[in-house]
Amino acid sequence: MFPEFTLRFARLPERFYLRFDPVPVPEPRLVVFNRPLAEALGFDLDAFEAQGAARWFSGNRVPQGAEPLAQAYAGHQFGHFNPRLGDGRAVLLGEVTDREGHLRDIQLKGAGMTPFSRGADGRAPLGPVLREYLISEAMHRLGVPTTRALAAVTSGERLFRRVPEPGAVLTRVAASHLRVGTFQYFAARDDGEAVRMLADMAIERHYPGLLTAEQGEGERYLGLLEAVADRQASLVAKWMGLGFVHGVMNTDNCTISGETIDYGPCAFMEAYSPTMVFSSIDEQGRYAYRNQPWIAQWNLARFAETLISLIDDDQETAVAKATEVIKRYEPWYEAEWLAVMRAKLGLEREEEGDRELVEALLEAMQAGRADFTLTFRRLSEALEQDAPALFELFETGDGLAAWLPRWRERLARETADAGAIAARMNGVNPLYIPRNHQVERVIAAAVEHDDFGPFEALGEVLAEPFTEQPGREEYTQPAPSTERVFRTFCGT
Ligand code: AMP
Ligand code: MG
């Protein structure tokens, strides 16, 4: 059933990983399977059969050609460096080439205790597995670069967390699992050769354009830093435009590919609040919504540090060049963010005062505690006249009332007509996002009653986030005050 493996990471020298076969689980049962993704990856689905699939996706059977391993990596967690993290519960089976010709990592998360487990059980509870499945797939449909979810299998084990929970294994698909933390692991050991091998692999897999450019070696590695900074700027701008809070932007959760990874305590905001934090362990608010662009920059600076000796033989010159790139991230990010926000407001032209216009709306939303997603969605109803459904979202509508005429005056300088602008806006402002109370509800049904119907139903809605789906209005609704979610827990 599996496509052919093209092993890349496993061909690196042994210090990059520890060979490790998934620990079998007692009763694997396939509970979710992503057929379209499997097809895109080149799986042979004629041979598909749920029991067999459960054995593959639990790790009970290792597919032919795979060489399972746990990757080594380090990372700054909440600002503190840990020189040895690594895959404590994930196993990379290997890479496959998808239908578009891109290499994709296939990883089992929750595959058992590895030499990197540091005393933890190596397993993943069903709740967090379903959460990652649902939110990563929703992000993909929302147009955000992200790891994907191929399958979820329950293991038949019970795990002991805050309360006993069923165990599960998630099959995760990624452009690669190279992280800033992977580079840090080797840089912290002064293993320049390993850092160079990682950088070469990253260039080959994610930035092949750098190979053809006529330039010296140092320029190429500086180019890698620039390219990663550029992708992170664009990624975080997309998060910001959706009200998404990642929750654990540690350097081990910051990919070199520019994909979102590790959906632990993440969530989409409802009432707009720039200081919003969801993670129960983020006491200082380090990873609050408004800090995300600057945390990404901080992570990039840590990445830059690992590349210094590759950028220039002269350390001072290398540091100066790298610092320059890290500084330039700021205008790159600002430009990406403004482009995202302009599109949300239906603006195609670029004008001087656009930033202030966006900020004024955000201020009105904050004052009115307006739902982030629905405010932008309903703006398209207010292009020409005041829309009651929009005002309903605001506890106090004065700010909005003052803002709308400013926006309409600005829209008058756009060339498209109102119908075209509305259509464009509805193509970037989703109606359906994975709202936390809905996510919690469908997870509870699966975990407590073994009922995956609500999970499937929510997944179906989220597959078409920009298209109004009659009869599914409840999915658009913010949490009732009794169900508001202010804290989410790390899926460990
Ligand atoms: P995460 O919070 O998922 O990004 O994980 C941070 C680190 O903790 C990684 O090295 C994980 O492999 C490790 N880890 C998280 N949960 C577990 C677990 N249940 N068993 C072993 N290692 C874990
Ligand atoms: Mg992680």
pLDDT tens, residue order, the chain (492 aa): 999 999 999 999 999 999 999 999 999 999 999 999 999 999 999 989 999 999 999 999 999 999 999 999 999 999 999 999 999 999 999 999 999 999 999 999 999 999 999 999 999 999 999 999 999 999 999 999 999 999 999 999 999 998 899 999 999 999 999 999 999 999 999 999 999 999 999 999 999 999 987 888 999 999 999 999 999 999 999 999 999 999 999 999 999 999 999 999 999 999 999 999 988 899 899 999 999 999 999 999 999 999 999 999 999 999 999 999 999 999 999 999 999 999 999 999 999 999 999 999 999 999 999 999 999 999 999 999 989 999 999 999 999 999 999 999 999 999 999 999 999 999 999 999 999 999 999 999 999 999 999 999 999 999 999 999 999 999 999 999 877 777 776 556
For ligand 2, the distance from its centroid to the CA atom of residue 87, given in whole angstroms, is 8
| Atom 10 of ligand 1, residue of closest alpha carbon | 85
For ligand 1, mutation pick of 69, 117, 126, 287 (most atoms within 8 Å of CB)? 117
Report whether 487 contacts 452 (CB < 8 A).
no
Report whether 163 contacts 230 (CB < 8 A).
no
For ligand 2, the distance from its centroid to the CA atom of residue 116, given in whole angstroms, is 12
| Atom 18 of ligand 1, residue of closest alpha carbon | 122
Q: How many helices (DSSP H) and strands (DSSP E) are in the chain?
A: 16, 12
Instruction: Give CA angle at 458 (452, 463), nearest 5°.
Output: 125
Lookup result for tokens 């930035």 = 207
| Atom 12 of ligand 1, residue of closest alpha carbon | 88
- Model confidence pTM above 0.85: yes
| Atom 11 of ligand 1, residue of closest alpha carbon | 88
| Atom 8 of ligand 1, residue of closest alpha carbon | 88
Ligand nearest 491 Cα, by number? 1
Going by the DSSP 8-state scheme, the letter that residue 46 receives in this structure is G
Ligand nearest 247 Cα, by number? 1
| Atom 7 of ligand 1, residue of closest alpha carbon | 85
For ligand 2, the distance from its centroid to the CA atom of residue 456, given in whole angstroms, is 26
Instruction: Return the pLDDT at 47.
Output: 87
Locate 408 and state its tokens. Answer: 């309409």
Kind of pairing between the strands at 164-174 and 148-160 = antiparallel
- Quickly count: other Cβ atoms within 10 Å of residue 450's Cβ: 12
Please identify, by atom number, the ligand 1 atom nearest to the C-alpha of residue 490. Answer: 2
Strand (E) or helix (H) holding 419: helix 418-426
**Cα distances (Å, whole numbers) of residue 380 to 117, 343, 393, 405:** 50, 12, 14, 14
- In this structure, the residues whose C-beta lies within 6 A of any atom of ligand 1 are 85-89, 116-117, 120-123, 248, 252-253, 262, 264, 490, 492
Dihedral Cα 89, 92, 98, 100, nearest 10 deg? 90
Please identify, by atom number, the ligand 1 atom nearest to the C-alpha of residue 119. Answer: 21
For ligand 2, the distance from its centroid to the CA atom of residue 492, given in whole angstroms, is 10
**Cα distances (Å, whole numbers) of residue 348 to 110, 413, 417:** 45, 10, 12
Long-range interactions of 479-487: CB distance < 8 A, separation 24+: 479/270, 479/435, 479/436, 479/437, 480/437, 483/437, 483/440, 484/270, 484/437, 485/267, 485/278, 485/436, 485/437, 485/440, 486/278, 487/265, 487/278, 487/279, 487/280
For ligand 1, mutation pick of 78, 82, 89, 165 (most atoms within 8 Å of CB)? 89
For ligand 2, the distance from its centroid to the CA atom of residue 88, given in whole angstroms, is 9
Active site residues: 252
Q: CA–CA separation, 132 vs 152, rounded Å?
A: 10
For ligand 2, the distance from its centroid to the CA atom of residue 28, given in whole angstroms, is 24
Instruction: Return the pLDDT at 213.
Output: 74
Instruction: Return the pLDDT at 492.
Output: 61
Instruction: Return the pLDDT at 489.
Output: 64
Ligand nearest 86 Cα, by number? 1
For ligand 1, the distance from its centroid to the CA atom of residue 371, given in whole angstroms, is 33
Q: CA–CA separation, 421 vs 431, rounded Å?
A: 16
Q: CA–CA separation, 384 vs 401, rounded Å?
A: 13
**Cα distances (Å, whole numbers) of residue 225 to 58, 205, 346:** 36, 14, 33
Those residues whose beta carbon sits under 5 angstroms from the ion ligand 2 are: 253, 262
| Atom 13 of ligand 1, residue of closest alpha carbon | 88
Instruction: Return the pLDDT at 63.
Output: 96
Please identify, by atom number, the ligand 1 atom nearest to the C-alpha of residue 87. Answer: 12
Q: CA–CA separation, 202 vs 211, rounded Å?
A: 11
